[in-house]
A and B are shown apart, each in its own frame.
Chain A
Amino acid sequence: MKKTVTIMLCLVLACTTLFAAGSGEKAAVKKDSNVVKIALIIENTIDDKGWCQSMHDGITEAMKQLPGRIEYSYTEKMNLVDAGTAARQYVAQGYDIIIAHGAQYKNLTLEMAEEYPDVTFAFGTSSEKGPANVFTYMPESEETGYLSGLIAGMTTKSKILGLVGPVDAGDAARYNRGFVLGARAIDPSIRVMVAHSGSFSDFVKAGEIAQSQIKSGADVLTGSSQQALGALRAVADHPNADIWWVGQETAQISIPEGYKVIGASAYNYAAVIIGLVEKLDSGVKGGEVIPMNFHNGGFLFEFNPNLKDKWEGAIEAKVNEALASFRAKSGTIDYMSVDYSKL
């Protein structure tokens, strides 16, 4: 009896653990020489309203723009160990491009690339050039941060802003520094409270940070990665107060807390994916860094149509001016000049 129950419990546990990770196939098309098979491996889920969703949305958008050219599968909630197994399965199934969406997958990707030189791998964010069959991508998110900073700087009344970062690295660090520069461009006396949760997904802690900043007088907040949702939720807990949010994911505008989101940027991974397909068509299998910026269509921005009274006029004009400048030329924001200890 004891043995039977123990075995049953083990089986239930194993099944639960296995099925807790999601996977799916989208719009499989008949395989021929023209079709590019793309596999996506992500740490969170395709609907996390943050980092992973933006890549998933980008691939599905690329499929619409290149009808019949892309076959797509994804695997969710992959830690580093499981990601290797998933990637090998995709290699065995003949996938042409395997995207491991996160800088944490760097070592895994480089090992796999050496093992399977005929398969193209991609990971990001990274500004390092990889081997001949590895693409990296790097969002130059100081541009989106700068736009958010402009809006926050022109909206704030307390002249105190809150910034809820996950970690001080990669595109999050660039976004945060761009935000500081944008706000300071409006008013150099604005104080930006910067705090990091130390996690991309702990939105409880992100909410705690936002609460702390609001209590300290911050009236416009922002944040990046999926943890930012917790901070936005904390902002939405003040329905009648003049406390607002500027987002790094346009999906935040359409959720119930969206009534606090003045505007938001988003990564347009469709441009990256289409670029990857085109490079593969031309025989380039990797060895390049793909930057993402407004200039190459890698970023999108939109205001919240329900909050026109908050942005119509001066803010809209200022943002459009900055957008025009970014679209004309990339790399104009010196985000490295920001020193948090001097804020």
Chain B
Amino acid sequence: MNTAVNILSLGIPFSVALLIASLGEMFNQRSGVFNLGCEGIMAMGAFLGMLVPYSVGHGGPTSEIFNVLGLLLAMGVGALFGLLFALVVVTFRAPQGIAGIGLQMFGVGVAGTLFRHFIGGTQSVPGISKFPIPLLSKIPVLGPIFFSHNVLVYIAFLFVPLSWYILFRTPWGLRVRAAGTNPRAADSIGINVTRVRYQALAVGGALAGLAGAYLSLCQAKMFSDGIIAGRGFIAVALVYFGHWHPVKIMGGALLFSLAQSLQLAIQGQGIAFPYEFAVMLPYVLVIVVLAFSRESQLLGPTALGQPFNREKRI
């Protein structure tokens, strides 16, 4: 019983960075743009998220206000990176895949260079502490699993219904879906596809920045080169896995993280199982589920990856 509770209670915070980044990528892809540069934006977010509390709180206690400023800075710069990406792929209509890889390298490179310049070597920060919800966290079994995490974990899961509401119940969400499904039709009824894609990429960038900051401020509580370690690409895969739907994406992020938590438990229990396979388990699981997803279920944005040129005739 204890082992199961541990697996679940650890799997939830492990999923947060993936969840936030995937939701951001969902907005990108719903508008018709896939952003492989998510990893680079996360790296920038991770660095900037810890830069503020590190700089201000170096050598002394860091107050939560500086953590919040770090999160906001990460989101702001993430949004700017999203806009930069929009400039390249929406305005200049560069191939999205290549531009995304470029953004990934750019973000990781800039974050690493700034890190060496401003901080030097691996340093830690006090980070954001856990906030067990009064009363609820005391409930046996459920308390440790759901109500004993840091604030960002609760906020991340609140993003799921919020994203669903924005995407499916607001005029802006409708415009985003229209821009990603049939941009020409959207344009014909007066939707500014270019503007909508810029907005969606800014939102996606902000969320990717926040996801990176979660890693450096909540999970690792430090920054070093390579902190993202491929999580940005996993976030992109989870959007396909979750069929561009916030709830299913949450399911994918949880499945991946619980598998990660499970493989740690398998290793820790000394079960005679090669650790190399245990480490692979979450990735294999995602591939298997993706492979068995029926084509008809893939109700993705039909204009995904296609640049929109208003002047071009069909």
For residue B307, CB closer than 8 A to chain A, the reply is no
A47 touches B120 (CB 8 A): yes
Chain A binding site: helix, strand, loop or mixed by DSSP? Answer: helix
Number of interface residues of A (CB under 8 A): 53
Closest residue on chain B to residue A19 by CB atoms: B113
For residue B247, CB closer than 8 A to chain A, the reply is no
For residue A127, CB closer than 8 A to chain B, the reply is no
Partner of B113, one of A9, A16, A213, A233: A16
For residue A126, CB closer than 8 A to chain B, the reply is no
A134, B269: Cα distance in complex, Å? 41
A327, B112: Cα distance in complex, Å? 41
B124 touches A256 (CB 8 A): yes
For residue A149, CB closer than 8 A to chain B, the reply is no
Given known A-B contacts A45-B121, A47-B120, A47-B121, A13 and B106 have beta carbons under 8 A apart: yes
B121 touches A212 (CB 8 A): no
Digitize B97-111: 1 where CB-to-A-CB distance is under 8 Å, 0 elsewhere. 000001001101110
Closest beta carbon of chain B to A197's beta carbon, Å: 7
Q: Which of the 9-residue segments A92-100, A110-118, A138-146, A188-196 touches chain B?
A: A188-196
B121 touches A198 (CB 8 A): no
Closest residue on chain B to residue A1 by CB atoms: B92
A215, B2: Cα distance in complex, Å? 9
A343, B269: Cα distance in complex, Å? 9
Closest beta carbon of chain A to B34's beta carbon, Å: 19
For residue B190, CB closer than 8 A to chain A, the reply is no
Closest residue on chain A to residue B272 by CB atoms: A341
For residue A205, CB closer than 8 A to chain B, the reply is yes
Which A residues touch B67, using CB under 8 A? Answer: none
Q: How many A-B residue pairs have CB under 8 A?
A: 128
A201, B279: Cα distance in complex, Å? 15
Q: Which of the 9-residue segments B179-187, B200-208, B258-266, B291-299 touches chain A?
A: B258-266
For residue B309, CB closer than 8 A to chain A, the reply is no
A4, B49: Cα distance in complex, Å? 32
A201 touches B222 (CB 8 A): no
For residue A199, CB closer than 8 A to chain B, the reply is yes
Given known A-B contacts A45-B225, A212-B268, A204 and B220 have beta carbons under 8 A apart: yes
Partner of B222, one of A10, A194, A203: A203
Which B residues touch A12, using CB under 8 A? Answer: 106
B121 touches A195 (CB 8 A): no
For residue A49, CB closer than 8 A to chain B, the reply is yes
Given known A-B contacts A204-B219, A341-B270, A196 and B275 have beta carbons under 8 A apart: yes
Closest residue on chain B to residue A217 by CB atoms: B2
For residue B188, CB closer than 8 A to chain A, the reply is no
For residue A291, CB closer than 8 A to chain B, the reply is no
Closest beta carbon of chain B to A30's beta carbon, Å: 30
Partner of A208, one of B124, B264, B270: B264
* Besides the known contacts A16-B105, A193-B267, 7 further A-B residue pairs in the complex with CB atoms under 8 A apart: A22-B116, A47-B120, A49-B121, A196-B267, A201-B225, A201-B226, A215-B6
Closest 7 CB pairs of A and B: A47-B121, A16-B109, A195-B267, A341-B272, A198-B279, A193-B268, A20-B109
Binding site for A on B (CB under 8 A): 2-3, 6, 9-10, 14, 87-88, 92, 94, 102, 105-106, 108-110, 112-113, 116, 120-122, 124, 215, 219-222, 224-227, 229, 260-261, 264-265, 267-272, 275-276, 279
